[in-house]
Structure 1
Amino acid sequence: MNDLDRKVTSEFSGYTVRKDLVSKVKGNALVPTYVLEYLLAKFATTTDANSVQTGVEHVRSILADNYVHREEANLIQSKIREKGRYKVIDKVQVALNEKLDQYEAAFENLGISRVVVDAQTVKNNPKLLVTGIWCMCTIVYAYSGDPKDVPWRLHRLMPVQMSHDDRENYLAMRSKFTAQEWIDLLMQSVGFNPDLFSDRAKLLHLVRMIPFVERNYNLIELGPKGTGKSHIYSEFSPHGMLISGGEVTAAKLFVNNSNGQIGLVGFWDTVAFDEFAGKTKKADRALVDIMKNYMANKSFSRGRNTSHNVPYMLKNTDLFEELPAQYHDPAFLDRIHYYVPGWEFEQIRSEMFTSGYGFVVDYLAEILHNLRNVDYGLAFEKYFALSSSLSTRDKDGVRKTFSGLMKLIYPSGEATMDEMEPLLRCAIEGRKRVKDQLCRIDSTMAEVDFSYTRVGAAEPTTVHTLEEIEYPELYWRGRQQGEEDVEGPADTTVESDEKPNLPVAAPAPAATVSAEKTSTVTPPAAQPTAQPKLTRIERAAAAAQEGRLTFTEDQRGVTYNKLFGAFVAGAHSITIVDPYIRLPRQIRNFAEFLETVFAYTERTEEVHVHLVTAYTDAKYVDNQIEDLNQVQNLFGQLGIVVTYEFSDTAHDRSIETDTGWIIALGRGLDIFQQYDTNWLSPLTRQQQLRRVREFSVIYQRAKSNG
C-alpha cells in the first residue's frame, strides 16, 4: 500500500475496495463490476492480507453457489425445487401482466419468467421495468398443483446498489485530500493506475465521467478501438446504460406509442451509444429530429472508433466524419457540449490497471447521481470572463463541462482561481473542438474567439485544441494564412543527418560498399526560384536510384532509413514479403520498418502496408499473431494501415511499392546481429550502432506494361 491507499482506506473505511480483486474474482462470470465490488465491499474491505484472502474466497463461493450461468439454469432450478428456497444472483426484468393485473419478473440467466412481484418492490425499483437490474434474490418453490400456476415465488429482492445518500460524509472527507490526491483516487476508483497517466490524460478520463454527475450533458468521443471508451458506461455505474448504436430506436429511447411504456432515457441518468457511428449506417431522420430536441435538456454520451487518423480527417473531411450522414447535421452537432479527443488515449494495457484502493464504484456512482442536482456552472465567473463572441450554446457547453469537473474534483464548489483555471481551459477546448468542426461543415456558421480573461488582466488568454497546435496548416485549411513551407512530418521523425544509402548504379559490379561511401549524396542543382519548393519527402524520393548494395559482416552505420527511406518515400501502398517475421525480434524489425514508412510518407494520407510471412512453430504461433495484431493496432493509430497473411510457399524476400520500386532483400529485414535489448542500451533505439550480418539489397524499377 502506498500513502494514498493508506489514506483512502483510513478516511473511507467501508466504502473502498482493492481494485485488482475484481479481476481475480470475476473469472468467467459475466457480472458487472459494480456487482462484484458490492460483494467485495461486504466481505473483503480490510487491509489485512489474510482477511482479504478470506473475503475473496467467500465472494468466490457466493458466485460459485449463487451466480447463475445460463448453461446451468436447469441445475439451479432443480436446486430451488429440492431445497424449497435458494439465493441467486441474476439480472431481473419486470413487466406488467394486464390480464391478471400483476407484475411478473423474468430472470435472464435462470430462464424462468412470470414470477409474481409485489407492486411495492416495483415502485421502489422502477428500472426493473426497463432493461432490468442485477439483484440478489431469494426464490421459493411452491407447486400448487394447478398446471396454469407458476411455482416460482420471489421471497426477497435486493438490488446491488447503494441505498442511502452519503454526500455529507463524502464532502467532509474530500477536504482531507489535495486536488492531485483526489484526482488519483478517482482514477483508481475506475480501475486505472494514475502513475501511468499525464495530468492532461487524467483530466480527459474525468471528462468521460461528467454525464454521471451533470444533468442535460451531451458528450461525444471518437477514437481508436481498445482505449476504454465504453468501459465506464458499461461497468462503472448502475445509473448508466450502454447500448449498441444499431439498436437505437425512438420507441426504445423515449416512449413506445403502442403501449405508452417509457424508454431508456426516462430511467437512466446516462444513455451511452457504443459503436454509434459508421458512414454506412442508416438512421431514422425522425429519430434525429427527436434527439435534437431532447439533447437540449437531457444526457447522452457516444463512443465510436475512428477509421482515419487526425491529419487525414483534418485534410480531407472533418473530425465528425465517422457519424452516419443523418447525424452529420450542424443543428444536431451544435447541441454537443464536449468532443473528447479519443485519439489521445493510449490503448489499454494490463499494466495500466491499478492494484491500489478506490471507491466501491456503486458508492461513488450514487454520490455522483445525487450531485446531479447541484450546479457550479457559474462558479468561475468571479475569476474569469468568457469571450463575448461565444454563442449561447458555446457558453452552455463550457459551463456544463466546468460544472461537471468541479463536482468531480471540488465537490463542495470551493476552489481558488489557479485551481479553476485548468478546468475552465479543458471545458473551453472541448466545446471549441465541436464549434471549429461545425464551421467546416456549415460555411454559414461564424467562427468565434474561444478565449477568457482573468480578473485584472489586460489581455485575454486564447485556448487552442491540441490538434490545432500540432497541425495548424490542416486545422485551418481554407483560411488565408501567411506563406508556410509545409513539408509533412517534422524532420525530427528522421535522423537529421541520415541520408539514404544510394546504390551503385547498374551495371557496376557487385562490390562491398562502405557506409561512409554510400551515405554521401551529391546535392541536386539549385532549382530556379520560380519552381515550387520540394518537400522533404519529395526530395528523398528524387534521390532513389536503381542498383545494388552489399554490406559486410560486423559493419555498423546501417539503418532502415538509409536502406529504404528514399524508396518508400511518398508511397500509399507497400507490400513486403518476408517469411521470417516470426520471432519477437523479427516482428520488432517489422515495426522498425514501419517507423521508416511513417517517417517518409505523408501523415495526411493513409499508407497501406501488407505483410506476407510464414507461421512460426505451432507452439508459438499464438504469440506471433498477438504481436502482429499489436503492431497493427499501434501503427493503425498513426495512419499506417497494416494487414498480413501467412503463406507456405513464399521464399524470396522483397518490398514493392505503388511508386514503382521493387527491392530484393537478401536476408529480408533480419539484418542485425543479436544485440543487448535492455531498454537502457542505446542499441535498442539507434540502429546505426548495431552490427549487421553480411547481406545485399537490389533496387529496381518495376517494368511498365506499356
Structure 2
Amino acid sequence: MTELSSLDQKINQVFAGCVVRKDLVKEIRGNAIVPSYVLEYLLGQYCTTSDEDSIQSGIQSVKEILSQHYVHKNEAELVRSNIKEIGRQKVIDKISVTLNEKDDTYEASFFNLGINKVIVGSETIKKNPKLLVSGIWCIAEVEYYHVEDPKVVPWLLTSLKPIQMARSDVEGYKEGRKNFSMDEWIDFILQSMGLNPEVFSRRNKFIQLIRLIPFCERNYNLMELGPKGTGKSHIYSEFSPHGMLLSGGEVTVPKLFVNNSNGKIGLVGYWDCVAFDEFAGNQKKIDKALVDIMKNYMANKTFSRGTQTMGAEASMVFVGNTSHTVPYMLKTSDLFADLPDKYHDSAFLDRIHCFNPGWEVENLRSEMFSEGYGFVVDYFAEILRALRNDDYSSDFNQYFTLGEDISTRDKDGIKKTFSGLMKVIFPNHDATEDEIKELLTVAMEGRKRVKDQLLRIDSTFDKTNFVFFKTNEPTKEIPVQTLEEIEFADIYYGLEATKPSKQTHEQNGDTQGKQAMLTSSPEVTEKPLEEGHKEIKENQKGCSFNDLVQPYLKGAKKLSITDPYIRNFFQQRNLMEFLVSVVKINYPTEEIEVHLVTIQDEFKGDKQEENFLKMKDSLSRYGLIFTWEYDEAKTIHARHIETDTGWKISLDRGLDVYQNFGGDAFDVLTYLPELRACKAYEVTFIKLGK
C-alpha cells in the first residue's frame, strides 16, 4: 500500500500503536500453522505504524523471530538437538498441561516440539489456567539438563508467556470511538476482522458483526448455517485467544462440561466462546446426554456435577454447512434440516438467541480480504472480553417497546443480540434513535428466524407477531420480517393461518410469489395498473428490476430515462439489460424509442460514448431506437423513467439496483437477474396528467 485512505489515516491517528495493516499477516505467515492472533501479536510489537520503512523493518524482525523460534513439526528433532547443544532456547509453540496426581506435579506437553512431562510450577498454572484445557500458544524458554536418573525428564521450562495482551484500555478505546461515524466504525471493525468493507453490503456487514457477539456477550447462543467457503468458522479459530473451535462438531460431556470421575471442569469453564464447527450433518452420532446437559446450560447457564450445580459464562456457537438451497428447505422441511436428529429438536433450538443467515454470505474471494488497517486482534479481543461485564440490553427502552406478543425467551434472545451489537458498534451508549432502530431490527430478525422455523418443527409453539413500537407512539406497529420470508412468502408459512396478507406481499415488492424463481410463472389475470410505492430490502432476491417495472412499459412507444450515473461498466451493463427487456416487450411487431439523459464521465467519457454506440447498433436491429444526451451543467440528481402512456417511475437508485456479482460468463447470476442479491432501493409509480 502506498497511499492511505481517509479512514486509514484517521485509524492511525486515533489508535496509534494499536492497529496493524491486515495484509501483513499473509506476508509473514509463510508455512507457519498458527492462528492469526499469534502473528498479529508479533506484528503488534514491531509494525503498529503507518511508516512504510518502519513496517518493512518490522516485517523483517517478525520473520526472523518466526524463523528462529517457531517450531515446525517436521523440524522438531533438529530444534530439540539445538536446545541440547546450546543449553536453552525460546520457542513459539502450543503448550498444554496435565496434572500428574501420582507425583503431585503439573506436566507440560509441547504440541510441535514433541516433548512431554516437562515440569511446570503451580504459580504458572494459577496465572494461566487455560493451559489445563486444550492448551494455549506461548513464547516459552526451554532448557535441557540431563541427569542419570531415568525417571527425571531432561527438559526444563524456565519461562512462559502466553501470546495475548496482559490488559486492555477500555476507556481509551471508548474515547477513540468518538472520532468515528457509525459507518466509519463498522468499516474499521470489518478491517479489524481482516475483511474489505468496500465489497460487503450493509446487511452483510451486520452478518459479519454478529459473529463477534459471542466474544463480548456472556452465555450467548448463536447458530449460523450456510454453504461452504463463506468463512463461518474462521473468526472462532483465528480471531481471539479466548475462543475455542471444536472441529467436527462432536464432543463429549467431560470435555465440554465436567468429568465426574475427577471433578475436572471442561471447556465452558475456561473459554469465553466455544464454537462447534461442521455442526450440521444428518449422519453424525450424537450423545443424547450431551444434548440434554447442553439444553440446560444454554437456558440456565448451569450444568450438574453429580449432585452439585455449577455455572459458567461461555457462549455457544454452532456453525455448519447446508446441503440444499433456502427455498428447497422451506418447501420440504425447515432451515434447520441439515442438523443431526438429536439437535433437530425444538427444545434445543428454542435456546438459540440468533440464527445468522449464512446463506446470504458469498464465498470468500481474494478481493474480500482487507489491505487496510485494523485493530491488532489480541488488543480488540481483550476489549471485547472486558465488555462482557457490561449490559447494553436496555438501551432501546428510551425509544422503543417490544410487542406484548413476544415471549420472555424471545425477548432474551433479542436483547442479548441487541446488547452485543451495541457493544461492538456503540460502546459509549451514544446511538441515535434511528441507529438503535436499525440494530433492534437486526436483533429481532435473528430471533424471528429461529421462532418461525420452530413453528414448522413443533406445532405446540404459538405464532409470534414480531413487532415493536415507538415509546411515544404505542399504537403504531413497526413489523420485522426475515429476508427469506419476503423472498419466498408463498412457501415460508407452513400453516394457512400464518400466511401474510396481500398487503404485506405488495409492501415488499413480491406480488407473484417469487419463490418460484426458476420455474415458469403461473398464468395470472392481468390487473389494471395502479399508483404505488415498493421497497426492496438489501440482499433480497427474487425481485428482478425488469419484472418490477415491465408492466408499466407495455404499450409505450417512447421512453425517457434520466439517470446521472451511467458511467461505470456495471451501470452500463444494467442499462443494456433493461433495454433488452424493453425489446422483449415489443419485438418483433413493434418499435420503440428510448432516450437517455445522463452525465458524461469526467475521466472515461470516450469509453462511455463508445459503449453507448455499441448499444445503439445492436438494439436498432430489434426495433429499439436508442439515443442519449449529456447534461453539461451536471445538475440532474433525480432518477426516473417516463413513458408516453403517462407513467413516471421514480427510482431512488436509478438502474443501479444489484449488488456486485462479477458478471463472469460461467456465473448463473449473469443470466438470471432474479437470483441476484439487490441493494436496498425504492420505486414509486406515478400516473401523470390525472
Same fold (TM over 0.5): yes
* Cα offset, 1:430, TM superposition: 0.3
The whole-number CA distance in structure 2 between the counterparts of 1:432 and 1:323 is: 19
Structure 2 equivalent of residue 181 of structure 1: 184
AA in 2 matched with 1:145:
E
- Deviation by residue 1:458-510 (Cα, 9 ceiling, x = unmatched): 4110001111111111111332557985472168499989xxxxxxxxxxxxx
Q: Name which of 221, 225, 228 aligns with 1:222.
A: 225
* Cα offset, 1:286, TM superposition: 1.2
The yes-or-no answer on 1:400 pairing with 2:416 is: yes
Structure 2 equivalent of residue 27 of structure 1: 30
On the 8 A contact 2:19/2:49 being kept in 1, the answer is no
The yes-or-no answer on 1:328 pairing with 2:356 is: no
On the 8 A contact 1:245/1:277 being kept in 2, the answer is no
* Cα offset, 1:520, TM superposition: 7.3
Q: Within 5 Å, give how 1:223-302 maps onto structure 2.
A: 223-296=226-299, 297=301, 298=313, 299-302=315-318
AA in 1 matched with 2:85:
E
Q: Within 5 Å, give how 1:453-472 maps onto structure 2.
A: 453-457=469-473, 458-472=475-489
* Cα offset, 1:259, TM superposition: 2.2
Structure 1 equivalent of residue 377 of structure 2: 361
RMSD: 2.8
Q: Name which of 462, 469, 482 aligns with 1:446.
A: 462
Q: Within 5 Å, give how 1:7-86 maps onto structure 2.
A: 7-86=10-89
Structure 2 equivalent of residue 426 of structure 1: 442
On the 8 A contact 2:276/2:319 being kept in 1, the answer is yes
The whole-number CA distance in structure 1 between the counterparts of 2:39 and 2:380 is: 15
The whole-number CA distance in structure 1 between the counterparts of 2:186 and 2:114 is: 42
The whole-number CA distance in structure 1 between the counterparts of 2:444 and 2:154 is: 59
AA in 1 matched with 2:231:
G
* Cα offset, 1:340, TM superposition: 0.2
* Cα offset, 1:252, TM superposition: 1.2
Pick closer, same or farther for the CA change 1:331–1:365 going to 2, 3 Å: same
On the 8 A contact 2:28/2:59 being kept in 1, the answer is yes
- Deviation by residue 1:591-641 (Cα, 9 ceiling, x = unmatched): 46x966x699xx9xxxxxxxxxxxxxxxxxxxxxxxxxxxxxxx9x9xxxx
Q: What TM-score, normalized by structure 1, do the two folds share?
A: 0.71
The yes-or-no answer on 1:479 pairing with 2:496 is: yes
On the 8 A contact 2:168/2:382 being kept in 1, the answer is yes
The whole-number CA distance in structure 1 between the counterparts of 2:38 and 2:543 is: 51
The whole-number CA distance in structure 2 between the counterparts of 1:246 and 1:187 is: 27
* Cα offset, 1:453, TM superposition: 0.3
* Cα offset, 1:165, TM superposition: 2.7
* Cα offset, 1:147, TM superposition: 2.2
Structure 1 equivalent of residue 332 of structure 2: 316
* Cα offset, 1:119, TM superposition: 0.6
On the 8 A contact 2:190/2:205 being kept in 1, the answer is yes
> Across the two proteins, how many residue pairs are aligned to each other?
526
AA in 1 matched with 2:393:
G
The yes-or-no answer on 1:192 pairing with 2:205 is: no
- Deviation by residue 1:11-41 (Cα, 9 ceiling, x = unmatched): 2122111100000000110011011001011
- What's the % identity of the aligned pairs? 56
- Deviation by residue 1:572-601 (Cα, 9 ceiling, x = unmatched): xxxxxxxxxxxxxxx965546x966x699x
- Deviation by residue 1:414-464 (Cα, 9 ceiling, x = unmatched): 322122110000000000000011011111110111010012224110001
The whole-number CA distance in structure 1 between the counterparts of 2:49 and 2:91 is: 26
The yes-or-no answer on 1:126 pairing with 2:129 is: yes
Q: Within 5 Å, give how 1:472-551 maps onto structure 2.
A: 472-480=489-497, 481=499, 486=513, 488-489=516-517, 492=544
Pick closer, same or farther for the CA change 1:84–1:225 going to 2, 3 Å: same
Unaligned runs of 5+ in 1: 498-514, 522-553, 560-586, 604-634, 638-706
The yes-or-no answer on 1:416 pairing with 2:416 is: no
Q: What TM-score, normalized by structure 2, do the two folds share?
A: 0.72
* Cα offset, 1:144, TM superposition: 2.0
The whole-number CA distance in structure 2 between the counterparts of 1:591 and 1:452 is: 40
Pick closer, same or farther for the CA change 1:555–1:186 going to 2, 3 Å: closer
Structure 2 equivalent of residue 148 of structure 1: 151
The whole-number CA distance in structure 1 between the counterparts of 2:204 and 2:670 is: 25
AA in 2 matched with 1:191:
G
Structure 1 equivalent of residue 451 of structure 2: 435
The whole-number CA distance in structure 2 between the counterparts of 1:9 and 1:205 is: 23
Pick closer, same or farther for the CA change 1:589–1:193 going to 2, 3 Å: closer
Pick closer, same or farther for the CA change 1:182–1:590 going to 2, 3 Å: closer
AA in 1 matched with 2:260:
N
Structure 1 equivalent of residue 658 of structure 2: none
On the 8 A contact 2:291/2:342 being kept in 1, the answer is yes
Q: Within 5 Å, give how 1:669-684 maps onto structure 2.
A: none
Q: Within 5 Å, give how 1:578-597 maps onto structure 2.
A: 591=667
